[in-house]
């Protein structure tokens, strides 16, 4: 890790910068696949699956038999773990369901807001070296709680053209009924546009590689929305003398193993930790199966010493980390002042991996500084807020003149008339 001692405020802009990978050069390919899927539907989806995944799909949709068989193929202990995680994720996301009361903003004017499910949502689960079934928990559980009617899932085929049993098991456990063995740009295009087999959805969720990222952005041209723009995963650990350097190293490595572009930051007010954590990193790194990936991520990583808590806190907010571990004596100070972060892990016994899998919080979180203006996935990601108002005769008589004056000042006479015609009727009633 590169080390920085009390970097001055002027340098923060550069120090909090992420390496920006521009994927604009992928847009022509993405546009091509979208056009093909629009024109040829399932046929195009199969064609690109053959081309990109080297798999000749017989069926795009996973059949009931494969789904039912999956349960038998997943070890009992893993199933129990997935179920425990599900209970926690479920209770945390259910607790986000707040119902606003009706409010009489003034006499006779009653306003309220209701949250309604997005009826059709698509979940994208990446393939790759290992099946990322935990992301299904993070997306399908809040979708179910929200009440989304149609929840579909796309995931790239294995080399045998199948979907790993643990993915099928988790999807079924979370109530996902339609699972499609497709990935990449063609999967996003299919969900955005719809084909004979794959239903068009209103919103697409889930992580993916740069092709998926660009395809999700492209999908927004077709009146589809997305959970958030994706980027390489990030962790920032803040620690003072009360922290444990070996734990910190383990947490930093858990982020570094994701990929060579993972962002790993360490911020401390305890100067000797710069070397102690570095030593612990070296010790632990060698035992990792993914040590080459982790080592590469660590090369681009940064460790900071700040003299005061306030400097450390301000720097962390300027960065806005996706994951933020806080191991300090004055926890209250650090927590009060969290302004920009995706998910925060408090204390020496709260590793990031707890939130990645099973504490209950969501692991689909804003990266790349988006924590400054984006929420991680939560119950409301699967709902929209609709407002209502009901005005009584007395209400419009009390509020009418205000509306008329404002409409007139904006030059909108018909807006004024809609009030005037009602007020006239009421005056004639008397």
* Contacting a second copy within 53-72 (CB under 8 A): none
- Give dist(CA 88, CA 10) in Å, integer: 43
Q: Does 294 bind a second copy (CB under 8 A)?
A: yes
Of 116, 118, 227, 123, nearest in space to 175 by CA: 123
Considering the rule CB under 8 A, would residue 399 count as an interface residue with a second copy?
yes
Residues 183-202 that bind a second copy (CB under 8 A): 202
Q: Does 356 interact with a second copy (rule: CB under 8 A)? A: yes
Residue 142 near residue 379, CB atoms below 8 Å: yes
By the rule CB under 8 A, 4 interacts with a second copy: no
Q: Which of 332, 291, 294, 287 is nearest to 313 (CA)?
A: 332
> Residue 98 has which token pair?
């707040």
Cβ-based nearer residue to a second copy, 50 or 103? 103
d(CA 355, CA 360): 7
Site for a second copy contains 250 (CB under 8 A)? yes
Q: Which of 65, 101, 159, 286 binds a second copy (CB under 8 A)?
A: 101
Q: Which residue's CB is nearer to a second copy, number 105 or number 330?
A: 105
Comparing CA positions, the residue from 241, 302, 308 lying closest to residue 276 is: 241
Residues annotated as catalytic (active site), given as ranges = 322-323
If the CB atoms of residues 161 and 360 are measured against a second copy, the closer one turns out to be: 360
Instruction: For residue 419, state whether it binds a second copy (rule: CB under 8 A).
Output: yes
By CB under 8 A, is residue 370 in contact with a second copy? yes
Least distance in Å: CB of 366 to a second copy? 8
Asked if 2 touches a second copy (CB under 8 A), the answer is no
Kindly identify the residues of this chain, within the stretch 218-237, that bind a second copy according to CB under 8 A: 220, 223-225, 229
Size of the site for a second copy (CB under 8 A): 128
Using the rule CB under 8 A, give the single segment among 56-64, 192-200, 240-248, 271-279 that binds a second copy.
240-248
What x-and-dash track marks residues 156-175 binding a second copy by CB under 8 A? ----------x---------
**Residue 134 sits in the site that holds a second copy (CB under 8 A):** yes
Nearest approach, Cβ of 6 to a second copy (angstroms)? 24
Q: Which residue among 67, 139, 214, 253 contacts a second copy (CB under 8 A)?
A: 253
Query: In angstroms, what is the minimal distance from the CB of 271 to a second copy?
Result: 23
Least Å distance between CB 59 and a second copy?
Answer: 26
Give min distance, CB of 180 to a second copy, in A: 20
- Name which position in 103, 196, 279, 333 contacts a second copy (CB under 8 A): 103
Minimum Å gap between C-beta 356 and a second copy is 6
Q: Name the pairing type of β-strands 343-346 and 323-327.
A: parallel
Q: Which of 25, 28, 72, 409 binds a second copy (CB under 8 A)?
A: 409
Nearest alpha-carbon partner for 382 in 104, 120, 158, 75: 120
- The stretch near a second copy (CB under 8 A) out of 59-67, 151-159, 289-297, 308-316 is 289-297
340 makes contact with a second copy (CB under 8 A):
yes
Residue 405 makes contact with a second copy by CB under 8 A: yes
Q: How far is the CB of 426 from a second copy (least distance, A)?
A: 8
Shortest distance, position 28 Cβ to a second copy, whole Å: 14
């Amino acid at each position: 890790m590169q080390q920085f001692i009390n970097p001055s405020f002027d340098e923060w802009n550069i120090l909090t910068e992420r390496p920006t990978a521009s994927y604009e050069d992928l847009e022509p390919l993405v546009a091509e696949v979208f056009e093909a899927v629009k024109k040829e539907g399932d046929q195009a989806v199969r064609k690109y699956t053959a081309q990109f995944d080297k798999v000749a799909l017989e069926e795009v949709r996973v059949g009931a038999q494969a789904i039912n068989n999956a349960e038998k193929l997943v070890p009992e202990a893993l199933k129990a773990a997935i179920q425990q995680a599900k209970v926690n994720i479920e209770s945390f996301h259910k607790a986000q369901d707040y119902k606003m009361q009706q409010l009489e903003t003034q006499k006779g004017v009653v306003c309220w807001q209701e949250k309604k499910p997005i009826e059709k949502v698509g979940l994208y689960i990446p393939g790759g070296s290992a099946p990322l079934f935990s992301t299904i928990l993070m997306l399908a559980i809040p979708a179910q709680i929200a009440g989304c009617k149609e929840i579909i899932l796309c995931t790239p085929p294995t080399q045998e053209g199948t979907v790993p049993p643990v993915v099928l098991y988790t999807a079924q456990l979370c109530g996902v009924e339609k699972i499609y063995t497709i990935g990449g740009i063609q999967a996003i295009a299919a969900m955005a546009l719809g084909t004979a087999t794959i239903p068009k959805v209103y919103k697409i969720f889930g992580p993916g590689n740069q092709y998926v990222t660009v395809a999700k952005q492209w999908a927004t041209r077709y009146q589809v929305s997305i959970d958030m723009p994706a980027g390489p995963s990030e962790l920032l650990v803040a620690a003072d003398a009360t922290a444990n350097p070996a734990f910190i190293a383990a947490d930093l490595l858990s982020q570094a193993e994701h990929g060579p572009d993972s962002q790993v930051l360490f911020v401390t007010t305890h100067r000797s930790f710069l070397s102690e954590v570095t030593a612990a990193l070296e010790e632990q790194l060698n035992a990792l199966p993914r040590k080459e990936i982790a080592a590469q991520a660590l090369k681009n990583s940064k460790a900071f010493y700040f003299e005061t808590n306030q400097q450390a806190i301000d720097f962390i907010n300027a960065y806005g980390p996706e994951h933020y571990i806080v191991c300090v004596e004055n926890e209250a100070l650090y927590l009060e002042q969290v302004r920009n972060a995706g998910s925060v892990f408090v204390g020496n016994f709260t590793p990031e991996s707890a939130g990645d899998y099973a504490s209950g919080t969501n692991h689909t979180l804003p990266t790349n500084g988006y924590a400054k203006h984006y929420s991680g996935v939560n119950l409301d990601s699967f709902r929209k807020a609709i407002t209502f108002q009901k005005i009584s005769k007395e209400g419009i008589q009390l509020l009418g003149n205000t509306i008329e004056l404002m409409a007139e000042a904006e030059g909108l006479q018909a807006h004024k008339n809609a009030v005037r015609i009602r007020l006239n009727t009421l005056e004639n009633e008397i």
